[in-house]
Chains A and B, each alone.
Chain A
Amino acid sequence: MEGYVDRSHSHPNFDHADSSAHCEPFELDLHPPSRRIRQIWAVGGGKGGVGKSLIASSLAISISQAGRRVVAVDLDLGGANLHTTLGLDLPRATLSDFLTSRAASIESCLLPTDINGLQVISGAQDSVSAANISDSEKVRLMRSLISLDTDYLILDLGAGTASHTMDFFLASDIPIVTLLPEPTSIENAYRFIRTAYYRHLACSRRIGEEAKALVRLAMDGKNSAGINTPSDLFREVSRRYPEAGIQLKKEIERFQPKVLVNQARTQNDIDIGTAVKTVCKRYFGIEVDYLGFLEHDNAVWQAVRRKRPVALEFPKSRLVLTLNSLAQKIMRAQHPAEPTIGAPFSTMTRAE
């Protein structure tokens, strides 16, 4: 079996063969000694059209402009268009080639861009079934991605709550949930967070099997035990197995997604991020990190029409400056010595 000795850094969701809540070890370590990647950022959100690809590509450009090497990966296997937001034509080699073994290695799928230090791996293009990858393909893909010689890996996740989408989200160091100030987007964002939350618990190695059985029960919203919410789950686990309740609490607190509100037009839109944070604490018992908001900006559609990255087409726009400061903030949170990004940060407070 291929793998690494140290399991302390491995993510359990990449350790099991079955995409259900039953976890069988796959022995994949996300932090092997040979890993050169400083951080993996994942941009998800549950709903299509909320700006995931645009945000992922813009953050990737921001990081590369700070002098770091970045690989942006389009994991929206059913609707890949990250390459378009980066101004690239239909790529020659994609993840389809890697998944079907037509490509010899993940490195052969790397596409250069006009931006110094930024490379792209495009999503599947020509395989109808590629949107649903098997667990073994998922593990092979992740293992290959973390072996890349780069500083940052930016994952552009697909819409929906497929198990592989959840697992890439949970395996990242910076899991970002993008949402719009609209009911449909909020609903899907909560569905996304809820699915990731339960998957995180169901596959945790730190929780005993008795508690996991209740987690799996809770995943069925219409279960007969009446465990309908995370607080029901916590209460029931604590009642039946007080020690397991303490472990469950610690594991819940480890799940800390970050929220980014896109296309904000009013103060109420901006405040939604704060309210989501408050509501998530009450409902899920988790600390959501509100990264900030991005103002609605006409620069986006103009850049998309021109098939040009907005960060290059309108580098002085408020949106791009905000994205730069956001990227800077995240980079420096983990590595305070990270270099600054070229543009001035006149709008730092927008991403607070």
Chain B
Amino acid sequence: MNFGGPSSYYELFEIGKMASSREIHEAYLRLKAAYSNDSLALYSLISPQERESALQEVEEAYAVLSDENKRSAYDLSLERELLAAPIDTPLDASVVSIDRVPPMEFGANEDLLIPPALDDSGFFRQGDASYRPAPDRTPTPPPRPVPLGPQSTAPDLKQLVAEEIEWRGALLKKIRELQGVSVEDLCAATKLSKTYLNAIETEDFSRLPAAVFVRGFVVQICKVLKLPHERAAAAYMARCYQARKDA
């Protein structure tokens, strides 16, 4: 799936992450030819504006991938996004990744730990009166646990999440505040700058980087706030793409 919004420059160039500089250059030439003004393959399908836009993306990607330093920085940011990305394939039952498993809950008996329950929509339940964050069992569990807010807000929040379809930045902010998570806490947990977090919450897309990063940011925020990150990111990014297209 591409649709003018590839998940990475490597996907745009249809090369692997270990591609040599020669492979990158060849892919660049191939794409330049495909989107050149006299390319027969565009005939009747791609408008001149779309062609320009595609070429711009190709140039932007090549500027990064052809520069060793920029490429290294980009690879690092990509790895961070991949760590936060939703997992489409069924999980291997034998592999338990710490960032996939919410903390166990304490039952009435303080010595008995209860696995977190799922609600009707398949999300982990967080509003139970019995819920208390489990003690940290690993030396460095990513992402950093964020303290949850007052219990009284939980039912409202659950309903809000279940019914939400647009996932606007303002809503993310509202949920963050309902959970009692400060901007500083969220920035620390997601490693995002305050500027980017603020731009996401205010949907100031002009202050945000390339779409591939924005999607990763939204996913990370949703994961920390325990929101359905796949749904939320899809809806949020649809608006982001549209806004940039309109601009």
Q: Which residues of A contact B (CB under 8 A)?
A: 181-183, 186-187, 190-191, 230-231, 234-235, 238-243, 245-246, 249, 252-253, 271-272, 274-276, 278-279, 281-283, 285
Contact = CB atoms under 8 A, between A and B. Distances in A.
B114 to A, nearest CB: 29
B48 interface: no
- 3 nearest interchain CB pairs? A275-B41, A275-B34, A231-B3
A279 B54 CA distance: 10
Nearest to B27: A278
B189 interface: no
Contacts of A238: 234-235, 238
B132 to A, nearest CB: 32
A283 B35 CA distance: 12
A28 B19 CA distance: 46
B129 to A, nearest CB: 30
Interface string B44-55: 111000100010
A246 B234 contact: yes
A240 B165 contact: yes
B40 A235 contact: no
Contacts of B235: 238-239, 242
B195 interface: no
A234 B238 CA distance: 9
B113 interface: no
Contacts of B2: 281-282, 285
B97 interface: no
B165 A271 contact: no
Contacts of A181: 40
Interface in B28-70: 30-31, 33-35, 39-46, 50, 54
A275 B234 contact: no
A234 B235 CA distance: 11
A251 to B, nearest CB: 11
A186 B1 contact: no
B131 to A, nearest CB: 27
Given A182-B40, A283-B46, 9 more contacts: A190-B44, A234-B3, A242-B230, A242-B232, A246-B234, A275-B30, A275-B33, A282-B2, A282-B46
Nearest to B34: A275
Contacts of A283: 45-46
